Amino acid sequence: MDNIEIINRYLDYCEYERGLSLNTLRCYRTQLYSIKLSKSLHEMKQDDIRDLLNQISKDRTVISRNYTLICLKNLFEYMKDVLNIVDKNPCVGICATKTEHKERKSL
């Protein structure tokens, strides 16, 4: 099974089994298809995920990087629990980058 097929199956699963909204699905699809993978998803290790996120950090905002991490964590959980094609999720233990919160202005 190639990367595109895995991603397509995952998106179908999110739509039909988990009932995610069309907006969420659109965001997942955009994030997952925009990732430039140098190897098969089955072969990815934690260091590969870190390298990928570091590369994304150069081109995108912190929020986009964190959202990519969320998408990948969920994708790998699907690959582990539903497809049974990986033994563990390589994203586990990778933390999101902290962002500065803006203070709300009182009305």
pLDDT in tens, 19-49: 999 999 999 999 899 888 878 999 999 999 9
Supply the DSSP symbol for 94: P
How much is the pLDDT for 28?
92
pLDDT band of 102, cuts 50, 70, 90:
low
The CB-based long-range contact list for 51-57 (8 Å cut-off, 24+ gap) reads 53/94, 57/97
How much is the pLDDT for 60?
76
Q: Which amino acid is at 71?
A: C
pLDDT in tens, 56-76: 877 777 778 888 899 999 999
d(CA 41, CA 63): 23
Q: For residue 84, what are its two tokens?
A: 């049974």
* Residue found under tokens 């590969």: 48
Report which of 73, 59, 65 is spatially closest to residue 97, judged by C-alpha positions.
Answer: 65
pLDDT in tens, 88-97: 999 998 888 7
Burial grade of 29 (CB within 10 A; 0-12, 13-18, 19 or more):
middle
- Enter the pTM of the model: 0.83
How much is the pLDDT for 106?
63
How many CB atoms within 10 Å of residue 77?
Answer: 15
